[in-house]
Amino acid sequence: MSMLNSAKELVLPKLFTLLRYCTRLPIGCMQQFRALSSFSDVAEVGVSDRGHERKPVVAVAMSGGVDSSVAALLLKRQGFEVFGLHMQNWDSQDEKGMHVCPGDQDYEDARKVCKQLGIDLFQVDYHRRYWLDVFESFTREFSMGRTPNPDLPCNQYIKFDALLEQALHMGADWLATGHYARLSQSQEGSWQLLRGVDRNKDQSYFLASVGQAAFHKVIFPLGSLLKSEVRKIATEAGLQTANRRSSAGICFVGRRQFSEFIAEYVDMIPGPFVSVTDKAVLGTHTGLPAYTFGQRARIAGATEAWYVVGKDVKNHIVFVAQGSAHPALYCKSAVADSLFWISGQPPKNLQVNKPLNCLFKARYAQALRACSVSLLYARPDEMSVQRDFSTAIDGFKPSQFCCMQNVSDGSSSEDPTSLLKVHFQSPAKAITPGQALVLYSGDICLGGGLIHFPGPTLFEV
C-alpha cells in the first residue's frame, strides 16, 4: 500500500505549497487562507525517497465525530493520500455498571465515515499509556484537592506524541486532527500556535502544552473554519457524523456522572460545608473530589444558592459562599507551576526578569482577559511533600480558603522551581488549583502553567 511507504523529504517549494493548505503561515509573508477547499493543485505536491512523484500522506486522528470527519474529507478532496487512526484509550467495561462501551460507537462512526471517503482506518491501543501518563496523575491531583484538566496531558502525551509517532511510523508525512486551532511560523523559524477563527470553538487552550517537535509534523485543517461551516460541509457530503453531538466530558472517557465516576478511583470522605461569612456548618458533602471552585454546592435544605470558594483538604472542609457574585469567588492574583512554553522557552521579558503584559484563560470557556505575569522561584522545601498551603512562596500568599496538599515530582534537585506569579487586571472568578492558566499575545498562544493557588480573595482583602 503506497500510503505506508515512508517519505524522507519534500522539495522545499512544494513543501510551502503543502503548508498553505493546512492553515499554516510560513515566515512573515504568506496570507492566512480562508479554508482548504479553496485550492486545487495540491495533488501535485510531494516526492518519495526513490524520486517518484507521489501525493503527500496525511494520517487523520478519527474520533468518530464531525470535526475529524470533515478534516479527513477536506484533505481527501484536495488530493492528499489519507488514512485514519482511531485511538482506544479507555475501557469502560472496567467501570461499575458499564455494560456497553461508548467507545464502540465512536469507532463504528469513524469506520462508516472512512468507508464513505474510501480511506483505510486503523485502530491503535493506548490503554496502558493513557492510564500511566494521564489518568494516574488525574486521580492523584483530585486526591490532593485540585481540579486537573486531563485534556492537556492527553494531547501532550497521547495524541501528539504516541499517535504522531505511530502515524509517522506508518508512512504519514503529517498527522491532522479536527482541532479548531492554527499554526504559523515565527521570524525565528519556530512554530506558533494560534487561536482558531471560530472564537466559540477555539481549542488552542487544550494544545498549550504540546511541544515544538510535534507542531513540525501536525496540521489543523479546520483552524480557519467556523463550526457551522464544518456542519454544513458534513451535511452536504452526507457524512454519517454530520449531526452527531459534539464530544464532551473527560478526555477519551466521555460523558459520565462525574461524582459517581471519580468515586471509583479516589477516596470520597464526607465532610462539612462551611460558610466563609460566619464559619457556620451548613451541611455535609460527599467528598472533596466531587467539588470544584465556582461550582454550585447544592446543600441539602438550603433555600439560597451557595457556591464553592475553597477547600481544606486536611480537615475535609468545602468552603462556600452565598450567591454567584460573592467576593470570596474573586481574586486579583495567583501562582502557577508546571510551566510550559510553545516556543520551548519563556517569553523574552520573563527571561530578563521583567513583567509581561498579556492575556489569559484560566478555563477553556472563558473569554481572554488582561494580566501581568512574572517569574518567581520556590525552594525545594517550599514545594515539599504535603506542604500546607498556608505559608507564602516568595512573599506571595494564597487565599486562606485554599488549604490544599502538594506533592513533589520526586526529584532530588536542590535547584529552585520556576513558578509564574500572575496579577489580573480585573478580579478573576473561581481561579482553581490544578486548572491550566494559558497565556496569549493577541491570537498567539504563548504557553502557561497549572494553577498552584489563587491569591487572597476580595472577601479577605
Question: What is the CA angle 254-449-26, rounded to 5?
Answer: 85
For this structure, is 402 an active site residue? no
Catalytic entry in 114, 251, 331, 371? 251
Return the residue matching grid coordinates 512573599.
395
> Hey, what amino acid is at 193?
L
Q: 37-63 burial, b for 16+ CB within 10 Å, e for fewer?
A: beeeebeebbbbeeeeeebbbbbbbbb
d(CA 429, CA 309): 10
| Phi, psi values for residue 212, rounded to 5° | -60, -45
Residue of 22, 114, 154, 371 with catalytic role = 154
Strand order in the sheet with 57-61: 121-125, 81-88, 57-61, 174-176, 218-219
**Using the 8-state DSSP alphabet, how is residue 250 labeled?**
B
The answer to whether the CB of 220 falls within 8 A of the CB of 191 is no
Contact call for residues 114 and 85 (beta carbons, < 8 A) = no
Residue 283 zone, left/alpha/beta (φ > 0; ψ -120 to 50; rest): left
φ/ψ of residue 377, rounded to 5: -130, 135
Cα angle 193, 244, 197 (rounded to 5 degrees) comes to 25
CA separation for the pair 123, 111 (Å, rounded)? 10
| Residues 180 and 227: beta-carbon distance below 8 Å | yes
CA distance 21 to 214: 18
Active site residue 114: no
Q: Output the DSSP codes for 100-134.
A: S-HHHHHHHHHHHHHHHHT--EEEEE-HHHHIIII
Contact 283/300 with Cβ under 8 angstroms?
yes
Backbone φ and ψ for 76, nearest 5 degrees, come out as -65, -40
Q: Which of 307, 302, 301 is nearest to 325 (CA)?
A: 307
What positions carry a catalytic annotation?
A: 154, 251
